[in-house]
Amino acid sequence: MNKRVVITGAGAITPIGTGRENYWKALREGVCGIKPIKSFDASEYTTQVAAEIEDFVPENYIPKKETKRMDRFTQFAVAAAKMAVEDGGLDLEAIDANRFGCVVGSGIGGLQTMEEEHAKLMAKGPGRVSPFLIPMMIGNMAAGAVSMALNAKGPNYCVVTACASGTNAIGEGFRLIQRGDADLVLAGGTEASITPFGIAGFCSMKAMSTRNDDPKTASRPFDVDRDGFVMGEGSGILLLESLEHALARGARILGEVAGFGMSADAYHITSPAPGGEGAARSMMSAIADAGIEPSAINYINAHGTSTPYNDKFESMAIKSVFGEHVKNLCVSSTKSMTGHLLGASGAVEAVACLLATHENYMHGTMGIQNIDPEIGLEVLANQGREAEVEYALSNSLGFGGHNATLILKKYRD
């Protein structure tokens, strides 16, 4: 029999708040973290806004010497993981480190380091490239650094499925504990791609909003005038634990992972499959894994990127899966406030779903002016809603056709 997997801690580094409580307060209040880009001169870019984290001081979480050997995306992950451990009241000396795992996803990895070191190569030659280039750049280093910082000697790896990375990582952590391969797993995602190279690439794809004169409504998922996503950065990490392990140590339990599903579109490198059929299969797989009927779910945290195709096809997928029950569903998009954290998005959105079930509150989707009539869903526009949330579903849909879905539930004895 599969083990029950509960969530005992959560860490969040986001553009609207650091730490679980601050992040949740900002979500409830509809705070938007999207502003003109400050980290570099974006005046020549078609998109000049992003959701940057302006108050992050890595030395508050990591020894200064070590921060210099970590890209920003790794620093975010280590900080969020430490928060999750503290939030979960976990005594690292009292657990079996060999049964403590870590799965951290990242869609892009150390882009900032890559850019800076490439500039050195071009200007000064190969001898000036840092010996830390490779270990700072590679995507798995966030998971590696978290394990070293917290002595997690169990299963340790990185998931790279573009914008589904964080959700897949949590799903993998869930499976590790279900199967009995670990007692505890730190799982989530991290990303730091607001760099000249990263923004230029997405601008060239014409994937991002160009609503530079109105940053607060640049990300407006499900709006008829949505024109692209807005880049965000940060990390979300959950402390997953087998129920028996959590009970044995007297842990406070925030929620439970009920199901996980995934699928491939097998269609296009960036565009979702027509009608969202791949996303629909992912949701159906997660619902089946949870052993529930679709009618048990009343809240969906959508991938909701604010791009024309994603929002349209995801809404079609939701309607195909839930049928008549769709009229009883409330839908929101965290990305309206945080921007799109790419490989970390599913992780910070899982934290939002966790707290929706724990606090019985579904946050709103900010920036909406006019709901697209084609969407046909009850989108919580510009304000949240108090409601009993027994089960919450979170979608993540990545470039390459990667679809992943988590179902979180309220914990009951």
Contact 169, 53 (CB under 8 A): no
Rounded to a whole number of angstroms, the CA Rg of the chain reads 20
Contact 269, 17 (CB under 8 A): no
List all residues 6 or more positions away from 281 whose beta carbon is below 8 Å from its beta carbon: 261, 263, 403
Q: Which of 383, 384, 389 is nearest to 407 (CA)?
A: 389
First to last CA, the chain: 18
- Active site annotation includes 353: no
**Distance between CA atoms of residues 387 and 329, nearest Å:** 11
Q: Quick count: other Cβ atoms within 10 Å of Cβ 104?
A: 39
Secondary structure (DSSP) of 205-256 = HT-B---TT-GGGT--TTBTT---B-BB-EEEEEEEEEHHHHHHTT----EE
**Distance between CA atoms of residues 26 and 12, nearest Å:** 12
| Coil/strand/helix, residue 328 | helix
Contact 174, 19 (CB under 8 A): no
Q: Which of 38, 34, 18, 36 is nearest to 26 (CA)?
A: 18
Q: Is 131 exposed, middle or buried (0-12, 13-18, 19+ CB in 10 A)?
A: exposed
Q: What angle do CA 150, 78, 397 make, to 5 degrees?
A: 120
**Distance between CA atoms of residues 234 and 355, nearest Å:** 18
Catalytic pick among 102, 158, 163, 353: 163
- Which sequence positions are flagged as catalytic? 163
